[in-house]
Amino acid sequence: MAIQFINSQKAAELIPDNAVIALDGFLGTDTPEEILECMRARYKKEGHPKGLDVWHAAGIGDGKTKGTNNFAEKGFLHRLVGGHWALAPELEPLSAANDFEAFNFPQGVLSQIFRDAAAHKPVLITNVGLGTFVDPEVSGGRLNDAAKNATLVNRINIHGKDYLAYEVPKPNVALLRGTFADEDGNITFDDEPLTLVATAIAMAAHNNGGKVFVQVKRVLKRGSMKPKDIRIPGILVDYVVEADSPEWTKQTTDTQYNPDFVSSAVITAEDEIDLPLDSKKVIARRAALLFNKKTDKVVNFGIGKYPETCSLVLKEEGLSDNIMTTVEPGTFGGTPLGGGDFGAAIAPQSIIDEPYMFDFYDGGGIDLTFLGLAEADAKGNLNVSKFGPKIAGTGGFVDITQNTPKIIFTGTFTAAGLKEEVKDGKLHIIQEGKVKKFVKDVQQVTFSGKVAYENNQKVWYVTERAVFELVKDGLKLIEIAPGIDLQKDILNQMEFKPIISDNLKEMDPRIFQEPIMNIKENS
């Protein structure tokens, strides 16, 4: 079929009922928002397309109405398999009401699944997810009762070792966004900060006899593109959708196109770092003391204020000059960003496709990762993916933690109303948080302490008042902050009693009093 050039409304009309859709996007980057909005409008008017089976790797949306929120209509979905759900709160009540089958798989696994779908592989085999809620011996990634009769992942044993075998879909629709198309349908990503899974998704739908829709800013003349700039060859594209609105300029859900996201120009005039000495900085400073500049060369920072503060403290202490930062959707180097810009970086050194970044992670390419700490239990398990009816989703958390040799989880000891002050070299708790974060059993296992220990990973749980390390039998308390009472401020605020080190220490006093710790010499 010759390539057709259509608008978003026509694209929505061409999506059939019961389509298996492979959708690309990361927050707002690469997301074909205009097509999705037209699909929702058509469904609300006509009741079609209905019964959709949607697969996406990363979180897509703005936490309000965009991205995968567009599928939040009763009967619109048959199934949704997503790597992250927090950006689509409109889907939560429908999932809870069992309107469709809901699954949460690791982001990296899903990005690699599309590549395997292109090659007609029946399953994707990996260790990622063992011991977590994704493991079929736990819940198999199911998020509701509607999914109870569907099995999308199984345990297998190869050469005496356990692995997970994820079922690979056969998408017949690909929904993508690039920047420019030419008259032959070749697609470039000039103004997008990431290329994500676009090539794999287009190839997967094409090779499975499906249709590939790509939303673009503008169509250029034949021969106007450099071959190496083309990320989706025109032979894979069926429909080029030239956007009618300026929505294509949205590089994230919050900001307009930023040329610094796609430029490797070195920024020479960095703003001076001036972090207040609060609990966030205390946590980040203690985490920084676990950094070893001789061995920790490739570092990943997760999303959230605590991992992001760790990045700033490493810079403040002069420890980040010789490390290579990575962010899971594909950036190496530069300054990783947070919030609505998460995934992008200012002046990155390089950007690769997302499945290859997760190949790098799965093979142990990262030396160290700083991640958030939402809920932990006595076994060293962590939950960052589900809290009561709220579905956050794992994102890249499972992929990153499964194969990284050194992991530092960071966060406050309690939550909801916690007020603290760092004064006179001590930590003062003004008001205790209402929610205990160290619980008897986490609601969902996103990180398995048992699996990590068996894999000889080094794991720490760093809070503003206490530091734990993972040992064979679970969490071991190794340090407490000056000014903190062991019984009142730590043990009474936990739902279990941790192993307490025979050599329990007080945290380094420099953390609580000096403008700069000058820890270069100790790294």
Confidence bin at 435 (pLDDT 50/70/90) = very high
- Give the rounded percent of residues in the chain with a pLDDT score beyond 70: 93
As a whole number of angstroms, the distance between CA 303 and CA 170 comes to 31
pLDDT at res. 266: 53
The residue out of 220, 242, 264 marking a domain boundary is 242
What's the rounded mean pLDDT across residues 427-443? Answer: 97
Q: What angle do CA 113, 115, 116 make, to 5 degrees?
A: 65
Q: How far is CA 422 from CA 278, 427, 482, 483, 513, in A?
A: 6, 5, 10, 10, 8
Q: List the beta strands (DSSP E) in 286-363.
A: 298-301, 324-327, 331-332, 335-336, 345-346, 350-351
Average of per-residue pLDDT across 405-428: 96
Mean pLDDT of 256-279: 63
Mean pLDDT of the chain: 92
Which residues, 6+ apart, have CB-to-CB distance to 398 below 8 Å? 106, 108, 109, 128, 129, 132, 134, 446, 447
393, 104 Cβ separation under 8 angstroms: yes
pLDDT at 268: 45
CB atoms near residue 448 (< 10 Å): 24
> Does residue 379 belong to any structural domain of this protein?
yes
At residue 315 the predicted structure's pLDDT band, cuts being 50, 70 and 90, is: confident
Using CB atoms within 10 Å of the CB of residue 521, give its burial: 0 to 12 exposed, 13 to 18 middle, 19+ buried: exposed
Same domain, 293 and 232: no
* 275's tokens: 């972090």
Closest CA to 365 of 357, 355, 354, 373: 357
Do 103 and 218 lie in a common domain?
A: yes
Contact 476, 503 (CB under 8 A): no
Average pLDDT for 268-293: 84
The secondary structure of 487-517 as a DSSP string is IIIIGGGSSSPPEEEEEEEEPPGGGGT-S--
Please count the residues of the chain.
523
Residue 46 has pLDDT above 80, yes or no: yes
In a domain, 28, yes or no: yes
Residue holding tokens 């708790």? 429
User: Does residue 9 sit in the same domain as residue 120?
Assistant: yes
Tell me the mean pLDDT in the region 495-499: 97
Helix count and strand count (H, E) for the chain: 10, 36
261 within some domain: no
Q: Does the pLDDT of residue 257 top 70, yes or no?
A: no
Same domain, 331 and 474: yes
Q: Say how far apart CA 342 and CA 328 lie, in whole Å.
A: 10
pLDDT at position 244, please? 80
| pLDDT, position 246 | 55
User: Looking at residue 482, which CATH number applies to its domain?
Assistant: 3.40.1080.10
Q: Looking up tokens 């995968």, which residue turns up?
A: 68
Q: Same domain, yes or no, for 164 and 296? A: no
Among candidate residues 242, 268, 303, the one where a domain is terminated: 242
Question: What does the alpha-carbon distance between residue 42 and residue 49 come to, in Å, rounded to a whole number?
Answer: 8
| One domain for residues 71 and 216 | yes
Question: Is 374 in the same domain as 512?
Answer: yes
Say which residue the tokens 């897509």 belong to: 60
Residues 342, 207 share a domain: no
Find the mean pLDDT for residues 291-313: 91
Higher pLDDT, 269 or 398: 398
The answer to whether residue 51 scores a pLDDT higher than 70 is yes
Instruction: Give Dmax (Cα) for the chain.
Output: 74
DSSP 84-106: --TT-GGGHHHHHTTSSEEEE--
User: Are 188 and 314 in the same domain?
Assistant: no
**Does the pLDDT at position 254 exceed 50?**
no
pLDDT for the residue 251: 39
In a domain, 265, yes or no: no
Domain coverage including residue 342: 279-522
Two tokens, residue 407: 């992991």
Question: What's the pLDDT tens digit per position in 223-236?
Answer: 999 999 999 999 99
Of the candidate ranges 66-70, 205-209, 327-331, 333-337, the one whose mean pLDDT is the lowest: 333-337
Residue 295 lies in a domain: yes
The three-class DSSP label of residue 146 is helix
Structure tokens, 283: 């946590």
Percent of the chain that is helix, strand, coil (3-state, to 5): 25, 30, 45
pLDDT grade for 91, boundaries at 50, 70 and 90: very high
In a domain, 256, yes or no: no
The predicted pLDDT at position 262 comes to 57
What pLDDT sits at residue 504? 97
Would residue 274 count as lying in a domain? no
Q: How far apart are CA 262 and CA 135, in angstroms?
A: 37
Q: Give domain status of residue 235, yes or no.
A: yes
Strands 52-56 vs 77-82: parallel, antiparallel or unpaired: parallel
Residue 522 banded pLDDT, cuts 50, 70, 90: very low
Decide: 479 and 282 in contact? Cβ < 8 Å: no
pLDDT at 1: 65
Catalytic amino acids? 328
Q: What are the backbone dihedrals phi and psi of residue 99, each rounded to the nearest 5 degrees, phi first?
A: -75, -25
Confidence band, pLDDT 50/70/90 cuts, at residue 272: low
Contact 344, 29 (CB under 8 A): yes
Does one domain contain both 401 and 470? yes
User: For the chain, how many structural domains are there in total?
Assistant: 2
Residue 119 shares a structural domain with residue 218: yes
The pLDDT value recorded for residue 303 is: 82
End-to-end CA distance of the chain: 61
Using the predicted structure, report yes or no on whether residue 248 has a pLDDT greater than 50: no
- DSSP-derived letter for residue 523 is -
236, 364: one domain: no
The stretch 472-491 carries a mean pLDDT of: 97
Bond from prior residue into 193 cis (ω within 30 degrees of 0):
no
Joined tokens for residue 52: 């959709």
Average pLDDT over residues 113-134: 97
